[in-house]
Amino acid sequence: MLSLKMTEMWTTIGSTLASFMFIWAIIRQYCPYQLLRFFEKYSHRIMDYFYPYIRISFHEFLGDRLKRSDAYGAVEAYLSANTSKSAKRLKAEIGKDSTNLVLTMDEYERVTDDYNGVKVYWVCSKVMAASRSMPYYQEQEKRFYKLTFHKKYRDTITGSYLDHVMKEGKEIRLRNRQRKLYTNSPGYKWPSYKQTMWSHIVFEHPATFETMAMEPEKKKEIIEDLVTFSKSKDFYARIGKAWKRGYLLFGPPGTGKSTMIAAMANLLGYDVYDLELTAVKDNTELRKLLIETTSKSIIVIEDIDCSLDLTGQRKKKGESKFFSDDENDNKANFDAGRKEVKEEGSGGGSSKVTLSGLLNFIDGIWSACGGERLIVFTTNYVEKLDPALIRRGRMDKHIELSYCSFNGFKVLANNYLRVEKHALFESVERLIGEVKITPADVAENLMPKSPMDDADKCLLNLIEALEEVRGKSGLIKEHDEEVECVSSVIKENGEFVDDDEKEIDEGKKQIER
C-alpha cells in the first residue's frame, strides 16, 4: 500500500516536472544561448537527483532515417495486444483480411504493464519538429512511445523485459499483418515531407498455386523452391550471400505471370512492391526506393523489356565489331536520342535509370538491406533482355509459363466449373494437344456467360473455341506452305537463290562451258 502511494507521489512529481519542462521550452525561445545552457545543465542534474525513474523512448523514425523503426513497430504491436484492455483512449483500425478491428493506444494515453511483479509505464506521444528534408521551414509530427520504470529495476527491464517486448511484438505484427501492395505512383510527385516514396493499398489477390493452371511437377518444384528460400536464413548467412532470390517469369501474354506473383505472395505471406521503372527518375531514386522496401516482400518489375531501353548498353558493346569508332559514336548518340524519346513517350518523364543502376539494385551492396526478399521480372520476350540482367545469380530461377496443357485445363475446369471428370474432357484433351491456347483464353471460355450456363455448355463453348483456333492455325499453316512453294527458296553456297535464278545460272554455266 505504502509503495503504491510512493509510486503515485513520484508520478505526480514527474508530471509536475513535465509541466516545468513545457514552460522551460517557452522560456528557451527568448533567453540568450549561454544562459540557456547553464539552466539546462543544472535543471537536468536537479531532476536526476529527485526523480528516480528511468525513461526510454522508441521513436517512429530515427534521425534522418527513411525507414520506420522496427522497435517502434514491435512496441506498438505489443502494447495493442497487451494493454488495450487497460487503456481508456484507443485508436481503431481495420486489421488483417478487413474483418477485425485492431485497437492501439491513442496519443498521450498512458498504460501500465506488469512484468514479473515489476510495474512499468508506457505513454504514446508525439512532438512537432522541423524536418531537415524540408525545402522551407515546416514542422513535422514525430511520434514515439516512452517507457518509464524505477531505476532499481534497470537490469530487469533493459535485460529481459525489452527482449520480451520485442520478441512478442514482432510475432504479433507478423500474425496481424495486413499484407500490402505498394507502388511508386507513376507521374505522382510526392510532397517532400512525405516519409515514404511508396503508396500502398491492402493486398487482397485471391490467386494461389492450387488455382494455377500448369504442370503439377513444375508447380511442385516452384513451391518447394519458394518454401526452401523462406526457411533459409541461416543457410544464406553461412554461405555469405544476401538473403534474396531472383525469379524471371517469361511467356506469352495471358499465361499467368502476374497471377503467379500473387500466388507467390500468398504462399509466403509477403508484401508486393510493384516497381514502375519508367516513373523512377534516376539510379539514386531507384536505390532510395529499394532501401524503403521491407523484408518479407516481393519486388516486381513487370514487362522488364518495355520498362526502359536497357538493351542500349549491350548494343554498344556488340557494335564495335561492325562499326568504326566514329560510326559507333554516331550510333551511340542516335541510340541515346532514341532512348530519350522512347522514355518520354512511355510516360517515364526524364527517367535516367541505366542498366548498371538496375543491376546494382538487384545485387549491389544495398540490395542486402532488409533481407528475405524476392525480385521478380516478367517479360513476354526473354530473348530481348540483356544476358547480364538475367544471368543465374541475379535471376536465379527462370520459369517459362506457356500455353495451356490438358493438365492446366483440368485445374481451370475444377476452378470454374467444379468438375474433375466429364465426358467432354476427351475431346478437349485431343484438341488442346493440337493448338496453342493461353490459360487466359481457356479460362474465359469456361466462364459461365449466363446463370443458365452449366458445365456442359461451358465445355462445349471451349471445344468450339479450340476448333476455331485449330481452323485458323490450319489456314495459317496452309498459307505458309503456299508461300514456301511459291518462293521455293534453296540455300546454296551460303546464299539464298530461288528456282528461276538457279535455272538461269545453270544455263549461263553451260553456255560458258
Ligand X SMILES: Nc1ncnc2c1ncn2[C@@H]1O[C@H](COP(=O)(O)OP(=O)(O)OP(=O)(O)O)[C@@H](O)[C@H]1O
Site for ligand X, rule CB under 6 A: 212-214, 253-259, 380, 439-440, 443
Binding span for Mg ion by CB under 5 A among 57-65, 179-187, 258-266, 369-377: 258-266
| Smallest distance from ligand X to CB 458, Å | 15
Q: Across the beta sheet with 297-301, what order do the strands follow?
A: 199-202, 180-183, 271-274, 297-301, 373-379, 244-250, 397-400
Distance, CA of 2 to CA of 490 (rounded, Å): 107
| Smallest distance from Mg ion to CB 378, Å | 6
- The residue of the chain with the least Cβ separation from ligand X equals 256
Residue 510: strand, helix, or coil: helix
Q: Which of 214, 265 has the CB closer to ligand X? A: 214
Q: Work out whether 379 is an interface residue with Mg ion (CB under 5 A).
A: no
Residue 259 binds which entry of Mg ion, ligand X, none, CB below 5-8 Å type-dependent: ligand X
Nearest CA to 143 out of 86, 69, 66 is that of 69
What would the grid cell of residue 100 be? Answer: 477485425
Distance, CA of 60 to CA of 67 (rounded, Å): 9
Which CA distances in Å does 76 have to 72, 92, 124, 181?
6, 13, 9, 22
What would the grid cell of residue 363 be? Answer: 545485387
| Smallest distance from ligand X to CB 247, Å | 13
Residue 370 binds which entry of ligand X, Mg ion, none, CB below 5-8 Å type-dependent: none
| Smallest distance from ligand X to CB 188, Å | 23
Q: Which of 83, 258 has the CB closer to Mg ion? A: 258
The answer to whether the beta carbons of residues 385 and 362 sit under 8 Å apart is no
Which CA distances in Å does 215 have to 246, 382, 426?
22, 21, 18
Binding span for Mg ion by CB under 5 A among 12-20, 253-261, 399-407, 483-491: 253-261
Q: Which of 308, 443 has the CB closer to ligand X? A: 443
Q: Which of 103, 465 has the CB closer to ligand X? A: 465
- The residue of the chain with the least Cβ separation from Mg ion equals 258
Nearest CA to 266 out of 320, 322, 209 is that of 209
Residue with cell 513517350: 345
Q: Work out whether 258 is an interface residue with Mg ion (CB under 5 A).
A: yes
Residue 181 binds which entry of Mg ion, ligand X, none, CB below 5-8 Å type-dependent: none
Angle CA 307–315–323, to nearest 5 = 155
Q: Which of 54, 440 has the CB closer to ligand X? A: 440
Q: Which of 241, 397 has the CB closer to ligand X? A: 397
| Smallest distance from Mg ion to CB 504, Å | 52
Residue 6: strand, helix, or coil: helix
Q: Which of 251, 357 has the CB closer to Mg ion? A: 251
Binding span for Mg ion by CB under 5 A among 12-20, 164-172, 252-260, 340-348: 252-260
Q: Which of 337, 347 has the CB closer to ligand X? A: 347
Binding span for Mg ion by CB under 5 A among 171-179, 211-219, 251-259, 411-419: 251-259
Residue 264: strand, helix, or coil: helix
How distant is the alpha carbon of residue 435 from its chain centre?
A: 36
| Smallest distance from Mg ion to CB 303, Å | 7
Mask for 387-426, x = binds Mg ion (CB under 5 A): ----------------------------------------
Residue 135 binds which entry of Mg ion, ligand X, none, CB below 5-8 Å type-dependent: none
Distance, CA of 133 to CA of 129 (rounded, Å): 12
Residue 278 binds which entry of Mg ion, ligand X, none, CB below 5-8 Å type-dependent: none
| Smallest distance from ligand X to CB 434, Å | 19
Give the burial class of 401: count Cβ atoms within 10 A of its Cβ; 0-12 exposed, 13-18 middle, 19 or more buried.
Answer: buried
Angle (deg, nearest 10), helices 455-487 and 406-417: 150
Q: List residues near Mg ion by CB under 5 A.
A: 257-258
